[in-house]
Chain A
């Protein structure tokens, strides 16, 4: 697929044009980019600069008077706060486990959907639906009709396996939230991996079959390497969205019981909305952003590799 199109890829298009592009030409190229660039810088970067500013201030919504400078003491609080550390660890655990399980399920489902069978379109439709359900709706429906200890459907379905009126959200809170995250994001992973499977050149597979390669060998040696950019992309996008998971935590468990499901987004939310501590939340936010940048640098490197894979590989 990609072989044909690489002819239109930026480098070759650029090569067609004369080398010494004038300054006017350069600006003509830049001009269409500017509105979006300025917009995104203003809307996404300014709040973070303000966050940085407030992180050095004592600023409580419920304390009268203007915010005042207090140096690094907000940061001292953040670094010594067990609540922040706990939320950080839970964020990592929730994101990593949800992304990994969703991806494994996604690969399995994609392999299923790549085969021809009766009603394939319908099954694909059923499988993608959880991704389309409003996360707030998913959270509330799971918390009530699905997981309720007294009338929940899950307990009813698990009855034959010796499960009796388990109060999932109090005894297995973290697991329950992660299950809902997985349920919503597996379809996304399935779609991406499926697209990868279907872009696989059939003749290579056929040749391998003729050569007498087993199904497992073909999958490991041919399919998996081909899927790699798709899997990496799914993991990357999934992590970006899942690390910010808030709706499920807020609506299923409200961070509890205790702080059992309090991840970073929910922690920051409570700092602002219940502790009214704008300065403290800002400092926690800055630390979060710095940690994210460290992780994202690795992620972006992965992105760059995917891109190079594209240019060199095809």
Chain B
């Protein structure tokens, strides 16, 4: 942005200076590319290893040329069925629950705020600071007593609670962006609160809702601790499938990489597509 604004003055710069600027730009570009590739390298290596035959995955020196195979992916796809289903249900279910609870709550903390909206907001955030691991034993006992152990409902409930504070906070910041005139016009029209939310606020903040939902999806899809402690088979999720792909003995690196790739790719692709709204979502949280 800033570069665009500065540019007109710069194009008139004399020759040598212009050269310095261009080479400087190229230099920055090269540094940035090197950093980016270095950071991406482990992911790239994961994907490359996933296409290796098992025998080519554990060699010294590491092999960069090999005949790629889909064998490990086939193996993954033959076994991931229940896990991916559970993950999808827990992720989508908890995210919907977060939005259903979060939108009205954010509304009550921004557009027509309750008196102590600041305390309310801080309370939500403060629940994120209590480490859930501290309560894992009792949580297990509660789950047993409520007949929710190894149930997908338990994951939905817990993941929603895990993501709700951040979601309320983000949605609130998007609602503050809704122009006051729009809200006043709706009020003059005699629109009730529900109509105001549905017809005025939701259309304006829908990109923000998307980025909020995205963050919730990332955290829910990737969650391991609660799933590991509170599920066995009926609700075991993708991260648990990943763990099960590491056998006690034998070669497994290619298989593990294939499983890790398959488990990560959905969120990576969604994140890539939505990265602009992701940036915006996080930034809005920062300044509002």
Determine the chain B residues whose CB is within 8 A of the CB of A8 once the complex forms: 176-180, 183
Do A36 and B102 touch (CB < 8 A)? Answer: yes
Q: Which of B11-19, B65-73, B74-82, B219-227 contacts A (4 or more CB under 8 A)?
A: B219-227
Say which residue of B3, B6, B125, B180 sits within 8 Å of A7 (CB atoms).
Answer: B180
Do B133 and A246 touch (CB < 8 A)? Answer: yes
Which residues B167-195 have CB closer than 8 A to chain A?
A: 168, 176-180, 183, 193
Chain A CB within 10 A, most for which of B6, B115, B239: B239
Q: Does B147 contact A (CB under 8 A)?
A: no
Q: Does A56 contact B (CB under 8 A)?
A: no
Tell me the bound Cα distance from A156 to B6 in angstroms: 44
User: When each residue 193-234 of chain B gets 1 if its CB lies under 8 Å from chain A and 0 otherwise, what string results?
Assistant: 100000000000000000000000010011011001100000
Question: Which chain A residue has the least Cβ–Cβ distance from B139?
Answer: A47
Say which residue of B61, B164, B257 sits within 8 Å of A156 (CB atoms).
Answer: B61
> Given A48-B134, A54-B138, A127-B39, are A29 and B114 neighbors across the interface (CB < 8 Å)?
yes
Tell me the bound Cα distance from A32 to B110 in angstroms: 11
Do A117 and B29 touch (CB < 8 A)? Answer: yes
Chain B CB within 10 A, most for which of A145, A273, A300: A145
User: When each residue 126-144 of chain A gets 1 if its CB lies under 8 Å from chain B and 0 otherwise, what string results?
Assistant: 1111111111111011101
Do B25 and A116 touch (CB < 8 A)? Answer: yes
* Residue ranges of A at the interface with B (Cβ–Cβ < 8 Å): 1-2, 5, 7-10, 12-14, 26, 28-33, 35-37, 39-40, 43-48, 50-51, 53-54, 109, 112-120, 122-138, 140-142, 144-146, 148, 150-153, 156, 183, 186-188, 191-192, 194-196, 198-200, 202-203, 205-206, 209, 229-230, 233, 240, 243-244, 246-247, 250-251, 264-265, 268-269, 271-273, 278, 281-282, 284-286, 288-289, 292-293, 295-296, 299-300, 303-304, 307, 310
Which residues B35-83 have CB closer than 8 A to chain A?
A: 35-37, 39-43, 45-46, 49, 57-62
> Given A127-B35, A137-B46, are A33 and B134 neighbors across the interface (CB < 8 Å)?
no
Determine the chain B residues whose CB is within 8 A of the CB of A129 once the complex forms: 39-40, 43, 268, 271-272
Do A137 and B138 touch (CB < 8 A)? Answer: no
Do B222 and A136 touch (CB < 8 A)? Answer: yes
Pairs A–B under 8 Å by Cβ, sample size 6 = A54-B137, A137-B259, A192-B286, A272-B229, A278-B138, A300-B126
> Given A134-B222, A296-B126, are A32 and B107 neighbors across the interface (CB < 8 Å)?
yes
Do A289 and B134 touch (CB < 8 A)? Answer: yes
Say which residue of A117, A124, A289 sits within 8 Å of B25 (CB atoms).
Answer: A117
Do B130 and A292 touch (CB < 8 A)? Answer: yes
Do A40 and B161 touch (CB < 8 A)? Answer: yes
User: What is the minimal beta-carbon distance from B251 to any residue of chain A, in angstroms?
Assistant: 10
Do B141 and A278 touch (CB < 8 A)? Answer: yes
Question: Which chain B residue has the least Cβ–Cβ distance from A233?
Answer: B286
Determine the chain A residues whose CB is within 8 A of the CB of B127 once the complex forms: 40, 44-45
Number of interface residues of B (CB under 8 A): 114
Determine the chain B residues whose CB is within 8 A of the CB of A246 once the complex forms: 133, 224-225
Tell me the bound Cα distance from A23 to B42 in angstroms: 58
Q: Does B109 contact A (CB under 8 A)?
A: yes
Tell me the bound Cα distance from A300 to B194 in angstroms: 32
Determine the chain B residues whose CB is within 8 A of the CB of A29 once the complex forms: 108, 112-115
Chain A CB within 10 A, most for which of B29, B114, B135: B135
Question: Which chain B residue has the least Cβ–Cβ distance from A157?
Answer: B41
Do B242 and A136 touch (CB < 8 A)? Answer: yes
Q: Does B92 contact A (CB under 8 A)?
A: no
Do B141 and A285 touch (CB < 8 A)? Answer: no
Chain B CB within 10 A, most for which of A138, A141, A150, A198: A141
Say which residue of A135, A202, A240 sits within 8 Å of B224 (CB atoms).
Answer: A135
Do B120 and A37 touch (CB < 8 A)? Answer: yes
User: What is the minimal beta-carbon distance from B111 to any residue of chain A, in angstroms?
Assistant: 7
User: What is the minimal beta-carbon distance from A249 to any residue of chain B, in angstroms?
Assistant: 10
Do B105 and A51 touch (CB < 8 A)? Answer: no
Chain B CB within 10 A, most for which of A14, A131, A140, A230: A140
> Given A117-B28, A151-B58, A246-B133, are A126 and B105 neighbors across the interface (CB < 8 Å)?
no
Do A243 and B260 touch (CB < 8 A)? Answer: no
